[in-house]
Homo-oligomer: A and B are copies of this chain.
Amino acid sequence: MKIYKKGDETSYTLGVFPTIELLKTRPQDVVRVVVHSSIEKNKGYPLIQELCQKHRIHIDIHDKTIDKLSPKSNCFAIGIFKTYQCDLTEGNHVVLVHPMDMGNMGTIMRTMLGFHYTNLVIIKPAVDVFDPKVVRASMGAIFHLNVCYYDDFETYYQQYKHHEFYPLMLKGAKNIHQVESLSLHSLVFGNESSGLDDSYLNYGQSVFIPHSDQIDSLNLSMALGLTLFHFSANQFKEKEVLRENV
C-alpha cells in the first residue's frame, strides 16, 4: 500500500472512528482493513471486527503499513477502499467552485451533514475529496454525501436549471436575512481566497452575508455554515430538544 496520490483508485481512512463510518456506510467499496497490533485495547475494535465479519472483509494486523500511511502516531486502524463515483439525488445542492483547502473541505462536509445537505457539487480544478487528509477532517461525513465533480460551472447549471440558484458573494445583491427558499436550491460558494467572480452575479439570486466592516470577509467554512443554518431553518425551527437530558 502506497501513500495516497491525487487521483489514485484506492484511498484509506486513518483512525478507528472514520474506519467504522466507512464500514457502516460503504462496505461494498472496502478492500481490506489494516490494524495496529496494539488495537486490542481500543474500544472501537469489536465493532470493526463485527462489521468486517458481516461483510467478509479481511483484517490485517500490520504495524509497518500503519506507520507508513499515518502521518501522526496515534492511528490504530486504516480502512482501504476503492474510490467511487456518486450520482446526485433529488434534494438541495451545495456547489463549491475551485475549493483548494483540505481541512476546510472536511469541516464543510460535516456541517452539510449536520443540516441535511447531502449533495456536494465540486467545480474543477479543486481539491481531491478522497485524499486521506479530507477523509480524516470530515470524520467520515464524506461517506454519507454524494460528491460529484464537474469540469465547469455552466455544464452543471444547464443540467440543474430547474433549481433556484443562490451564489454567495461579497457583492451579492440581496441580504441573506431577506432571502427564503421553499424550493429545490443550489447554494454556490467560491474559492477560499478569491470567492466567486462577478460573472456569478448573473446566476439566480446573488446573496451576501452582512457583517461589520472590521473584517474583510468570513472564511469559507464559516460562510457556508451560516448559509446552511439559514436556508435549512424551517426544518429545524420546531425541534424541541437536541439531546435528551439523561
Contacts and interface: CB of A to CB of B under 8 A. Distances in A.
Interface in A199-213: 201, 208-212
Contact of A240 (B175, B221, B226, B236): B175
Contact of A243 (B208, B219, B230, B233): B208
A115 interface: yes
Contact of A211 (B115, B177, B222): B115
Contacts of A229: 209, 226, 229-230
Interface stretch (A50-58, A75-83, A106-114): A106-114
B141 A236 contact: no
A212 B116 contact: yes
A163 interface: no
Given A170-B242, A171-B243, A243-B171, A114 B212 contact: yes
Contacts of A107: 219, 222
Interface string A111-123: 1011110000000
Q: Which of A170, A225, A237 is packed against the most chain B CB atoms within 10 Å?
A: A225
A242 B208 contact: yes
A242 B169 CA distance: 9
B214 A175 contact: no
Contacts of A243: 170-171, 208
21 contacts: A107-B219, A107-B222, A111-B218, A113-B215, A114-B214, A114-B215, A115-B211, A141-B214, A141-B215, A171-B244, A172-B242, A175-B239, A177-B236, A208-B241, A208-B243, A210-B236, A222-B222, A225-B226, A226-B226, A226-B229, A229-B229
